[in-house]
Copies of this chain bind each other. A is one copy, B any other.
Amino acid sequence: MQLEATRVDIGTSRPLVLLNTVDAAELGAHPLDRVRIEHDDGTMTGIVKRTDELVAAGSIGVTEPLHHVRGTVDVTLAGPPRSVRYVRKKLDDIELEADELETIVRDIHENRLSDVELSAYVSAVYTNGLSLEETKHLTEAMSGVGQRLTWETPVVADKHSIGGVAGNCVTPIMVAIVTAAGLTMPKTSSRAVTSPAGTADVMEVLCDVEFTIAEIESIVAETNGCLVWGGGVDLSPVDDEIIRAENPLSVDPPGQLIASVLSKKRSAGSTHVVIDIPYGEGAKVESLVAARELADDFKRVGDHLAVDVSCAITHGTDPIGRGIGPTLEARDVLDVLESEGPESLRLKSLRLAEMLLEHCGVDASSTEILESGQALERFRRIVAAQGGDPEIEATDLEPGAESTTVHAARSGITTRVDNRQLCDLARRAGAPLDSRAGLVIHRTVTEQVEPGDPLYTIHAETPTKLAEAERLADELEPVRVRSKADALVERR
């Protein structure tokens, strides 16, 4: 069928084609079917949507990935991509071969799967699991697409946290310590997806984080490290697509998690990686046994890829540090580097840095590097290399001026400081987009409190956002106080 191509933007990055209902019927094309589009410069495939209004009969609307398709084109029905068969196979709980996983990864990368098919892949992997062999093949396939970084030093240090802990901004401190010890640590980090601040959001308070590969190489040549946004360098990009389908379902199957993390590390050219696995109630991994299994699988897949992996199982039930939100976490980071800072952040950073140094075979004391000021000095050089002000101090960082403090209503012990509720609250206050929005936690878990003691403070940049966060705070109870004497919580 001959149709006239017109561009449309309907808020998607997939190659969709909009057909008028009349043309779709004539072609026998149902929603989610594929059509082959032959145009002057080649052949493309698009996924069908039908419309009565947006596109007139005789025309075909094409979304962004097909925007180079112009003029009169020949449209015919096409079958589904090969990977749909393999998704179906995984739904049938049959182990996938290396080339089948590679086809799935390629089709996801080239946006060939519809949401229904992508979700079926995620659901199949979640419910039937991935074997160790499959995870290895998937990791290789995922690191086979996108860009690849290479470094001249034989040892390239890296770290990753599987996430879920509020305020857990250990990365800048670790990079400062490890690079000060002479190792290369070119760290690429993400921005927040569902959390109030990713490491990239925190660093952006202090300096630029978006750089080209050439710029990153020059920053690393100058300082041994960097703290940049990974989205700018397209490492293992299939991960982002998979996460898009995992998020609405709140699933994060272990095999897929390992493949996502290690494919990124391999593409980043990392040789020695410490993986932080927080576990406990409300964390991604709920039990110590599950954390150990995950750690072992991380190491096995790492071996297969010749990436040296070491895992730190950590406490994942309550936040690390005092601040939550970009500016407040940046302040904690500087506080630790300058002097004492919040103890939980300081200790976790030291322990993980120590592990990474040892893992890389470097005999240096992270405590000494931190306490002597070498880490701070190195951090300032990185900030300067990334276009920031190296003289900035913790006290220069002001959180949002609109604030409310929530106080204890009774005396007792803090029995729970809830990561998820704190994250929701910080986001409602405006984080990460309003970088000075967020929370300051005044009490950690198992502390004695008296009525009127401050539990946490909400900061926002505008009165509206503060009001919204206050409304949510009334519904939640992120810091729970319980008295042993109180069988009854309240009467109303």
Chain B CB within 8 A of A451 CB: no
Shortest beta-carbon distance from A69 to chain B in Å: 17
Interface string of A239-266 (1 = CB under 8 A from B): 0000011011111000000000000000
A residues 73-128 near B (Cβ < 8 Å) are 76, 80, 84, 87-88, 91-93, 114-120, 122-124, 126-128
Cross-chain contact of A93 among B119, B127, B244 (Cβ < 8 A): B127
CB-based contact B10/A51 at 8 Å? yes
User: If the complex has contacts A91-B123, A91-B249, A123-B127, are A12 and B49 also in contact, measured as CB distance less than 8 A?
Assistant: yes
Contact residues in B for A128 (Cβ distance below 8 Å): 127
CB-based contact A117/B433 at 8 Å? no
Contact residues in B for A91 (Cβ distance below 8 Å): 123, 126-127, 249, 251
CB-based contact B114/A248 at 8 Å? yes
Chain B CB within 8 A of A8 CB: yes
Chain B CB within 8 A of A52 CB: yes
How long is the Cα–Cα vector from A88 to B244 in the complex, in angstroms? Answer: 16
CB-based contact B116/A9 at 8 Å? no
CB-based contact A11/B31 at 8 Å? yes
Shortest beta-carbon distance from A173 to chain B in Å: 27
Number of A residues with CB within 8 Å of any CB on chain B: 53
Residue of B nearest to A47 (CB): B248
Shortest beta-carbon distance from A34 to chain B in Å: 9
CB-based contact B250/A9 at 8 Å? no
Contact residues in B for A10 (Cβ distance below 8 Å): 8, 10, 18, 49, 51, 54
Chain B CB within 8 A of A193 CB: yes
Residue of B nearest to A85 (CB): B250
Contact residues in B for A123 (Cβ distance below 8 Å): 91, 119-120, 123-124, 127
Interface string of A404-436 (1 = CB under 8 A from B): 000000000000000000000001000001000
CB-based contact B119/A117 at 8 Å? yes
Interface string of A1-36 (1 = CB under 8 A from B): 000000011111000001100000110101110000
Chain B CB within 8 A of A474 CB: no
Chain B CB within 8 A of A159 CB: no
Q: Which 3 A-B pairs have the closest CB atoms?
A: A11-B49, A123-B123, A11-B51
Please give the residue numbers on chain A whose beta carbons come within 8 Å of chain B beta carbons, in ascending order. 8-12, 18-19, 25-26, 28, 30-32, 49-55, 76, 80, 84, 87-88, 91-93, 114-120, 122-124, 126-128, 193-194, 244-245, 247-251, 427, 433, 468
